Amino acid sequence: MVVGIILVAINPYKQLPIYGDAIIHAYSGQNVGDMDPHIFAVAEEAYKQMARNNKNQSIIVSGESGAGKTVSARYTMRYFATVSKSSSNAHVEDKVLASNPITEAVGNAKTTRNDNSSRFGKYTEISFDQNYQIIGANMRTYLLEKSRV
């Protein structure tokens, strides 16, 4: 097993102007270390490795409640949709993350840091075609806290 780059992100609990399309295009095609550490640098490296080696890649987003895991996953999916020039670029991240609303509605709970904290882990698989454009995605959830059911 090979472990790639690791990025530690901190939730600033406010919107920052570092996730727009201009930033996505700035990171697209860059090598790791050429620019500041960023979730887009992680996504770019995974995308390049997938295309270069024709092998599946994984990005693990982990953290405590309210750390910004869902937002980081959303930014990553938007990055892939943009750089792959996918025809499904029309908010692919919204479609994927909205794929399981019933589980979210029943399985979330209020915590001291997050009013809508998920009690589920999520595994999102994004499928690409031979041109490395997104052709679909699948989200699987798994129960973390059985006491919430």
Binding residues: 63-70
End-to-end Cα spacing for the chain: 35
Strand pairing class (117-118; 108-109): antiparallel
Angle between helix axes 69-83 and 39-53 (nearest 10 degrees) is: 50
122, 108 contact by CB (below 8 A)? no
DSSP-H helix ranges across the chain:
21-27, 39-53, 69-83, 92-97, 101-107
Q: Which residues are annotated as a binding site for ATP?
A: 63-70
